[in-house]
Amino acid sequence: MTATIHSLSTLRQFFNAERILICFNGPISRTLIGEIGQALRSHIEASRTDGGTAMDVFSVYIEMSQNIRHYASERGYGDADSSATVVIATTPENRYAVSSGNLVELADGRVLLDRVKALAGLDKAALKVLYKQQLRQPREAQRSSGAGLGLIEIARRASQPLEVSLEEQHDGRGFLILRAII
């Protein structure tokens, strides 16, 4: 028990040093997404942050979390494989960093990696045009493209280009990490 208590203290020190406000790691459900989202929104609105920024952080968190949940469901992943890691922190520049990570099929991860890198090269005006184009597509076309409106919306709300990485796992899948600065 002493090791666990010490580890928790070390974890707390790490969270404080990294300016982490909320961190979740485990299976993610619709109810849990909503509960964490409400706690996040309340915390941000109670802080020095304006309402627009609070809504952007909340929206990005919700979109990332729902994308993970939907992906895991579509793939038929069980609880262990559908686990998500979501971290919301402040940056030294007093912005918010919303990061998420989850297991993906390696081929899916590579497609998403390319998609995010392409979005990162677009300015706000180009992202708006792309968003409107995607919005006009039939729903089935959006679904088959993966990472459609939601990812574009995350990129639009971010104050700088999205960051993404894909770490190959021992089982042939990948751990996809997406980070947005608001």
Distances (CA, A) of 167 to 14, 64, 72, 84, 173: 23, 18, 17, 15, 9
CA atoms of 177 and 163, how far apart (whole Å)? 8
- Say how many C-beta atoms besides its own lie within 10 A of residue 92's C-beta: 6
Going by pLDDT thresholds of 50, 70 and 90, the confidence category of residue 147 is low
Structure tokens at 107: 């081929």
Q: For 22-39, what is each residue's pLDDT tens digit?
A: 999 999 888 989 999 888
The distance from CA 19 to its chain's CA centroid, rounded to whole angstroms, is: 17
Per the prediction, the chain carries an average pLDDT of 90
pTM of the model: 0.88
Query: Residue 151 pLDDT > 80, yes or no?
Result: yes
Going by pLDDT thresholds of 50, 70 and 90, the confidence category of residue 141 is low
Q: Domain extents for the chain?
A: 2-181
Q: In sequence order, what are the beta bridge partners of 137?
A: none
Q: For 100-109, what is each residue's pLDDT tens digit?
A: 999 999 999 9
| Average pLDDT of span 113-139 | 93
CA atoms of 117 and 156, how far apart (whole Å)? 14
| Average pLDDT of span 85-108 | 96
Helical (H) or strand (E) element with 86: strand 83-90
Taking alpha carbons only, the member of 31, 38, 170, 155 closest to residue 98 is 155
What fold does the segment set 2-181 form as a domain? Heat Shock Protein 90 (3.30.565)
CA atoms of 5 and 145, how far apart (whole Å)? 46
